[in-house]
Amino acid sequence: MEEPIRIRAILEVVGKPKEFVESKLAEYIEHIKNDQNLTVLNERVESAAEKDGVWSTFGEIELIIKGLTNLVGFCIDYMPSSVDLIKPEKFAFDARYFNQFVNDMLTKLHSIDMLVKQANSENAMLRKNLGALIKNHLLVMLQFGISDPDKLSKSTGLATEEVKRFLNALVKEKRVKLEEGSYSLA
């Protein structure tokens, strides 16, 4: 069994509105309390404060964690802003244990890497689809004779400069023509 580790950790939450920030921190701490590899000894939570239109709060918790592997898991899962090891003051373990620890940590990092790659892939697909949707909307509006970028801006909800960027892309694709500052179907 891995040696228990006593730490003090700071958890911070920033966002809007105040109630969300405070409830998210309470939720984090509740998850920590329900984790069978963690034992919360004490906690202190500060009220959320507003700065530049954003609310922030933090909590300081002291807990015992079942071993180094679970400490890394705690850090990855809860992303504390800081961790202070209280006990033990020194660690001693053999190479086999250290190899297992490093490999467990790498497994967690690879899992996170896969989630990030999946999110990036989905984000790229959503951007591509949204771009196609906006272009199609602009083409339909041009078909109805609405060619003024300001009016197109209102119908799409995009800034006029963004509408012009999409229209110019359609010009390059030879689906739209631009003559004397006016856009029309090609």
Strand ranges in 19-128 using DSSP code E only, listed in sequence order: 38-45, 49-51, 54-66, 82-87
- Per domain, the residue ranges of the chain are 4-90, 127-185
At position 3, the amino acid (one-letter code) is E
pLDDT digits (tens, 9 = 90+) for 51-80: 988 999 999 999 999 988 889 889 888 889
Q: How confident is the model at residue 105 (pLDDT cuts 50, 70, 90)?
A: confident
Same CATH fold assignment for domains 4-90 and 127-185: no
Pick from 143, 97, 181, 142: which is nearest to 152 by CA? 142
Pick from 44, 39, 37, 38: which is nearest to 60 by CA? 44
**CATH code reported for the domain at 4-90:** 3.30.70
- The pair phi, psi for residue 51, each rounded to 5°, is -145, 125
pLDDT at 182 over 70: yes
pLDDT at 2 over 80: no
Q: Are strands 38-45 and 49-51 parallel, antiparallel or unpaired?
A: unpaired
Question: Mean pLDDT across the stretch 166-179?
Answer: 93
Average pLDDT, the chain: 91
- CATH 1.10.10 assigned to domain 127-185? The reply is yes
Place of tokens 């992303």: 79
Is residue 34 within 8 A of residue 13, CB to CB? The reply is no
Q: What is the pLDDT of residue 1?
A: 52
Question: Mean pLDDT across the stretch 24-41?
Answer: 92
